[in-house]
Every structure is written in structure tokens, then in C-alpha cells.
Amino acid sequence: MAGEISFFELGVADADRARSFYSGLFGWSFAPGTTEGGGYAIGTAGVPGGVHGGDEGARPYVFFRVDDIDAAVRRVRELGGTVPEGDAPGGDEETVERFGRFVLCQDDQGSPFGLHQPPPAAG
């Protein structure tokens, strides 16, 4: 199934402060992430998430599941949305194996969202 929310990412100025705040508010668990400059994988009772620091825009990112991220990026562009040219879907090998491939986009009105292709099922 494609299109459901599969991951969220909180962009904040200080990842450690966010960990303290959200664990206190929602009881979420945090494990060290793989992002440069720190960050955490967030364990919730629902949709998995992450938090990264150094984001002065301090905003949440919502990622929608797709089966083929390359095809979805082409479709975003065909429909008038944008994906930054240098922003190839993916990440380093460890991140892709653990979490899948991600890319940030904007719809045809400039609203930001992300695409997420989960990693292949183990087995």
C-alpha cells in the first residue's frame, strides 16, 4: 500500500532538548540515530520517527510511503511539484538498510512533504 504516513522527522535546533521534551510529553523512547551532528530514532506506539538538530526552521516533516521512490519522484515532478536536483533519494548504506530511502519534496503549491521507501523486508 502506498500513500499512508510511514515516518515523521522533527527538525529542531537542539536534538537533546527535543528528546527531553517529547519523552516527557508522550513517553517516547529515543535511541541514537545515524544523522550527522546527532539525532535520535524515536520509538512510538504508532508511526516510527526521528529527530535531528541544527534545523533552525524547527519544523516537522511527514513522509508518505511509496513502493518505488524513483518513480514517485518522477511523478512529483510530472505533477508540477519539486524535488531539489541534488537531493537524490537515499542516504548512506547503513541508513538505507535500517530505515529505507527518503527524499524531501514540495507539492505544486510549495507545501513540503517527504517520500519514504521502506527497506526490503528481512528474510
CATH code assigned at 40: 3.10.180.10
Give every residue of the chain whose pLDDT is below 50, as ranges: 122-123
Tell whether 84 is covered by a domain.
Answer: yes
Q: What is the pLDDT of residue 34?
A: 64
**Domain total for the chain?**
1
Tell whether 122 is covered by a domain.
Answer: no
CA atoms of 118 and 30, how far apart (whole Å): 20
Indicate the SS3 state at residue 52: strand
Tell me how many helices (H) and strands (E) the chain has.
3, 7
Per-residue DSSP letter, 113: E
Tell whether 85 is covered by a domain.
Answer: yes
* Distance, C-alpha 58 to centroid of its chain: 14
What's the pTM value of the predicted model, to 2 decimals?
0.73
Q: What is the pLDDT of residue 86?
A: 64
Q: What is the pLDDT of residue 30?
A: 93
Helix (H) or strand (E) holding 58: none
* First-to-final CA distance of the chain: 20
Domain of residue 26, residue span: 5-117
Q: What is the pLDDT of residue 123?
A: 40
Which residues on neighbouring strands pair with residue 64, listed in sequence order?
5, 115
Tell whether 103 is covered by a domain.
Answer: yes
Q: Report the candidate in 117, 111, 55, 122 with the shortest Cα–Cα distance to residue 91.
A: 117
